[in-house]
Every structure is written in C-alpha cells, then in structure tokens.
Amino acid sequence: MLRNFFACAALTLAVTGTSVAQKILDAKSEVKEMSTDAKDGWTTNGGLGLDFTSLWLSNPRPGSGDSRFGAGGLLSYVANYKGGNFLWDTKAGLQLSVIKNGAEPYTKAIDAVQVTTRMGRLISGKLYGAVLGDLQTQILPTYSKNLLQETVNGVRNSLTSNFLAPGIVKVAPGVIYRADEHLSILYSPFAYKGIIVRDSVLAAKGLFFTPEVVNGKRKIMDHQAGSEIRVDYARKFLTNRLSYVGTLDLYSNYFRDFQNVDVEVYHTLDYLIWKNLSLNFKSDWFYDHDLLVYKGGDLTKLGRDVFMRNALFLKYSQVF
C-alpha cells in the first residue's frame, strides 16, 4: 500500500472547488508556531471564513442543469505561549460544508474538527523534551452516500459516521529537534493512538477497526502503541506574501502489523492577494491500514488505499 501512496503522491494536481482540509488552520498563523524568537507570554489569533454558492433555475430546459445550493464555514484559533525555555502551542479548527442539488437531499462536502496541542521545554541547544496531543473527528451524523438525513423518500439509510465515530486521538511524548525557526522534528518512541467509534452498531460494521466483543460488550475503541515521527516545515516567501506549511507524520503500531506505516502528509500554500483576500491551495494525503476508504470513489467498494484531498480556492479571512 505504501507503494501506492508514493505513486499517488505524484498525481496531486486534481483540484476541487470546495475548501477541504484536515489541516484547517490558516497558513500565516502556522508559520509562527514554536517560534523561539517570540516574546514571553501569550499570543493568540483566530480566523473566520464563509463559503456560499447558489444557482437557481426556473423551468429549466432539458440538459440545462439543475438548481444548486452550498454553504459552509471555517473557524480557526491559535494560542501560543512562551515562558523562558517553555513553549506551548495550541491550534483548533472546524470546517463544515453542505451542498444540495435540485430536489435531492442535503449531502456533506466536508466536516472536519481538529485540535492539536504541543508543549516543549528546552533541554539543551536545539533539543526540547516535548509532548504532542491531537484529536480529529467530525460534527454531523452522516448516512449512506454522504446524506445528512436518515430517511429519504421513505427509504432508511444506514449510519456511516458521527461525532467521535470515528475520532482519532494521539498522545506522543518524546523530543523535538528545532533545526531553526522553519524546521522542527518530533520523535516519540512510545506514542499512543486511539480510534474511537462511540456507536456500537457502527463499530460492528468494521469500517474503522476489526469488530470484537470483549466481556460481552462490543468494542468501541481500538488502542494502539507505537513509534511516531513528525516533521513540520513553515516558511514565508516573496516579502511574506506567500506562505508554505508542510507536515509529514509517520506512525507504526508496535503490536500489530508494525510494517504497515500510517502516513499523513499536509501541504498548504497561501498567497496574499490583497489585505485579507488570498489564493489558497491545500493538498492532504492519508494512508491508515486500519481505516477503510471508498476505492475509486465507488461508495459500494471499501478497501485500503490512499485518501487524497486537493483544493484551490479564494479565501477571505478575518483575524480576531
């Protein structure tokens, strides 16, 4: 599967019109993270973006299309603290977007929640003792074919995901090597990863881990322990008008299929056009041996493969 991952990495020029990203936070904010040059105390900022599209057709001619409505939003917040040799960075983001075509029911385009926190204390030179915590989940319940309602035209659809179903939790104690203000590398020799599926019926479907019954109860959480390497790179170019943020995260479970490395790659390019208006490109790639995907976009064909998201869009951000 990893061969497929790196083969697909060369094919990430596909672009969609929806602003999708697991790395939700604004690139300009992320460039400042873990900065050893910052003054002591708290620095905070947040961003709010809205996404709205509408097309209304009355008595359309055959082949002319159908009415369409789409709405969504992006909310992000960053809080960084520096006190002497102690650093603490927290980032939280929510992105939600829904669409409706003609008389069809509402469907989900993107629903992502992510909270990441990282604490570090200087040991010596460029080396920090640190711990990384991360939570990823979604807000709305989702049914077959990405529908947002359970019953459509008298037909009941099955639940495919919900809040904390799945939810992915990581706690990774270790060390961070700060090469400079742009590059940091975290290594955790004993990182915890938990996949939560709080709905026992959904857990029994085996979409997120192998279903089991333990002491008469349905397993709703998969506990893992392994090794994690995370590389973060952030930089500004063109007199600070162009921002790039990249992250590579590798995780391997010590006790189950150690050779199957979970891979997350995030790229964000943000070009400031004027004041708060920017051109933003995001490309995210995921491979997790435990999480199944719809192969080839076929909603009836589940399997293991690389999940990729690419987006190119104009974005307006209001900092508060």
**Using one digit for the tens of pLDDT, what is the confidence trace for 189-216?**
999 999 999 988 899 988 888 888 888 8
Task: For residue 59, count other CB atoms closer than 10 A to its CB.
Answer: 5
Lowest mean pLDDT among 73-77, 124-128, 229-233: 73-77
Q: CATH classification of 2-319 is 2.40.230, yes or no?
A: yes
Share of the chain above pLDDT 90, in %: 51
Would you state the pLDDT for residue 50? 72
pLDDT higher than threshold 80 for residue 23? no
Specify the higher pLDDT residue, 185 or 208: 185
Residue 317's pLDDT band (cuts 50, 70, 90): low
Specify the higher pLDDT residue, 17 or 102: 102
pTM of the predicted model, to two decimals?
0.81
- All structural domains of the chain with their residue ranges: 2-319
Q: Report the alpha-carbon distance of residue 139 to residue 164 in Å, rounded.
A: 8
